[in-house]
Amino acid sequence: MKFKTLALCTSLLSAGVAFTSLPVVAQNTAATPRPQAPQISPEEALQKFSFFTTSVGLGKGANLGGLAGADAHCQALAKAAGAGNKTWRAYLSTQAADGKPAINARDRIGKGPWYNVKGALIANDVGHLHGDTLAQAQLGSNLTRNQALTEKGERVLGAGDTPNQHDILTGSKTDGTAFTDAADHTCKNYTSTAADGSVQVGHFDRTGGGNASWNSAHPSRGCGQENLVATGGAGLFYCFVAN
Integer Cα distance of 104 and 91 in angstroms: 9
Whether 126 is in a domain gets the answer: yes
Buried b (16+ CB within 10 A) or exposed e, 111-131: ebbbbbbebbbbbbebbbbbb
Whether 17 has a pLDDT exceeding 70, the answer reads: no
Confidence of residue 174 (pLDDT cuts 50, 70, 90): very high
Q: Are 103 and 242 in contact (CB under 8 A)?
A: no
Rounded to 5°, the CA angle 95-96-99 comes to 155
Summarised one tens digit per residue, pLDDT across range 58-104 is: 999 999 999 999 999 999 999 999 999 999 999 999 999 999 999 99
Give pLDDT, residue 2.
43
Range of the domain at 78: 42-241
Confidence of residue 210 (pLDDT cuts 50, 70, 90): low
Whether 235 is in a domain gets the answer: yes
pTM across the whole model: 0.83
Summarised one tens digit per residue, pLDDT across range 128-169 is: 999 999 899 888 899 999 999 999 999 999 998 999 999 999
Q: How far is CA 194 from the centre of its chain?
A: 30
Residue 117's nearest CA partner among 81, 75, 144 is 81
CATH no. for residue 89?
3.10.100.10
Whether 77 is in a domain gets the answer: yes
Whether 5 has a pLDDT exceeding 80, the answer reads: no
Whether 15 is in a domain gets the answer: no
Average pLDDT, the chain: 87
Whether 12 is in a domain gets the answer: no
Give pLDDT, residue 116.
98
Summarised one tens digit per residue, pLDDT across range 214-224 is: 999 999 999 99
Whether 20 is in a domain gets the answer: no
Domain count, the chain: 1
Residue 209, burial from CB neighbour count under 10 angstroms (0-12, 13-18, 19+): middle
Whether 37 is in a domain gets the answer: no
